[in-house]
Amino acid sequence: MSSHLSHDAAEAASDAVHDEASRHDPVYDQLHADAQFAELRRRYRSFVLPATAAFLTWYLLYVVLSNWAGDFMGQKVIGNINVALVFGLLQFATTFGLAWLYSRYSTAKLDPLAQGLEAEFVRLTDSTDGGAR
């Protein structure tokens, strides 16, 4: 931070009055170094990144099949219900399903860690600056 020019410092000071941008609370560094935080981030990413890749692929597969596999999509399954309709409804089902899975996963695996770290943050800020926040 010492390399800042005075102009930047003045600008930062005027911004600081306003909102978050220039706040740098060392408590966050402490929490960031916490093994609990590393675990929370690992758990979060190990769910959402593969899940995002999966649902985007599944959706694009549907778009591509709708475009370039008309015969397959047009096959009748039961009565007038064809593969295209079933595939479309499956997109609804997988969306509901993945949302439900994420809800269950985050409640069980993410929330307890996040809440623990937030409580730790409150404890640390109370002891370092007398609860000014």
Q: Which ranges constitute the DSSP H helices of the chain?
A: 6-18, 26-33, 35-68, 70-74, 83-105, 111-129
Give the contact letters, 47-66, x = binds to other proteins (CB under 8 A), - = no: xx--xx--xx--xx-xxx-x
Residues 62-121 that bind other proteins (CB under 8 A): 62-64, 66-68, 70, 73-74, 78-82, 84-85, 88, 91-92, 95-96, 98-100, 102-103, 106, 111, 113-114, 117-118, 120-121
The closest alpha carbon to 117, from 59, 60, 35, belongs to 35
Gap between the Cα atoms of 38 and 125, Å rounded? 20
HSE-CB of 79 using CA atoms within 13 angstroms: 2
Are residues 36 and 109 in contact, defined by beta-carbon separation less than 8 angstroms? no
Q: List residues binding other proteins (CB under 8 A).
A: 1, 14-15, 17-21, 23-25, 28-29, 31-32, 37, 40-41, 44, 47-48, 51-52, 55-56, 59-60, 62-64, 66-68, 70, 73-74, 78-82, 84-85, 88, 91-92, 95-96, 98-100, 102-103, 106, 111, 113-114, 117-118, 120-122, 125, 133
